[in-house]
Structure 1
Amino acid sequence: MRLRTDIFVSALMRRVFARGDFAAVEAKGAEEAGAVFVRQVFRDGSESLHAPAPQSFFEAEESDRRLFETRLDRVEASAVGAAIDRERRFDSDLWVLTVETDDLGDLMDFGTAEPKDDGFFRR
């Protein structure tokens, strides 16, 4: 069973604060099952956008995990804002969490696409 989104976001924020970094909820979505987008802000003013990884990144036994993929990497803030606006038009129940840190380190799990024998990409 997957952890409720509001609890996941709260736990992620606590971990960010425990490291001495800053996080804030920019947009609150569905408390039980909203998608989480993480807007990473770097000291130089650039930003990255991390979004939920596609289901093809998951193995069957991993369906309760939250994996992320990087959609935009170290771009201008306006590009990240525009991408979030596009996503919100598609899914109004999504969460946007802004994290000010140069390194997400072990805060989030990222999926990486690797081709399998059936031709699909999975983590």
Structure 2
Amino acid sequence: MRLKSEIWVKAYLRRCQVNGATGVVVRHGDDDAGAIFIKIIRSDQTAAVFSPAPAGLDDADIDRRWVSRFKQGFVAEADAEALLKREAEFDSDIWVIEIEDREGRHFLGDELMN
């Protein structure tokens, strides 16, 4: 069984803070099962976006797994914002977490899938 989205987000923000990054909830989604999107902003104002892996893919139904939304990784921040805006229009229950980290670290550990 998966952690509720709200609990996972709080723990993730704490992980980022402990590692010296600043994180905020930009969009508060459904507390129980809202999809979580993570935007990482580097000091050069480029951004990467990570979203949930498709269901049924490598235990994504049980554990949270992540995919990068841009093949090149980091893109202009405006492109990342446009993607997140489209996602929010499609699903009003999503979470958007913004992390500012000079080095562009995502703090997702082994949960990241390419």
TM-score of the superposed pair, with normalisation by structure 2:
0.89
1:94 aligns with 2:98: no
Tell me what 1:103 maps to: 105
Contact 2:15–2:107, Cα closer than 8 Å, also in 1: no
**Over residues 19-66 of structure 1, what are the superposed CA-to-partner deviations in whole Å (9 max), with x where a residue is unaligned?**
11110000000000000000000111100010111124224xx63200
Q: Which runs of 5+ in 2 are unaligned?
A: none
CA distance 1:10–1:108, shift in 2 (3 Å) = farther
Tell me what 1:74 maps to: 74
- Corresponding pairs, count: 110
Larger radius of gyration: 1
CA distance 1:18–1:52, shift in 2 (3 Å) = same
> Which letter maps to 2:62?
D
CA RMSD of aligned residues (A): 1.5
Tell me what 1:85 maps to: 85
CA distance 1:108–1:82, shift in 2 (3 Å) = farther
Q: Which runs of 5+ in 1 are unaligned?
A: 113-123
Q: Percent identity?
A: 29
> 1:107: how far off?
4.3
CA distance 1:84–1:108, shift in 2 (3 Å) = farther
TM-score of the superposed pair, with normalisation by structure 1:
0.83
Question: Residue 13 of structure 2 aligns to a residue in which SS?
Answer: helix
> Which letter maps to 1:41?
I
Q: Runs (4+) of structure 1 moved beyond 4 Å?
A: 105-108
Partner Cα distance (1:21, 1:108) in 2: 19
Partner Cα distance (1:108, 1:80) in 2: 23
Partner Cα distance (2:35, 2:107) in 1: 21
Partner Cα distance (2:64, 2:35) in 1: 10
Partner Cα distance (2:3, 2:36) in 1: 12
CA distance 1:106–1:49, shift in 2 (3 Å) = closer
> Which letter maps to 1:24?
V
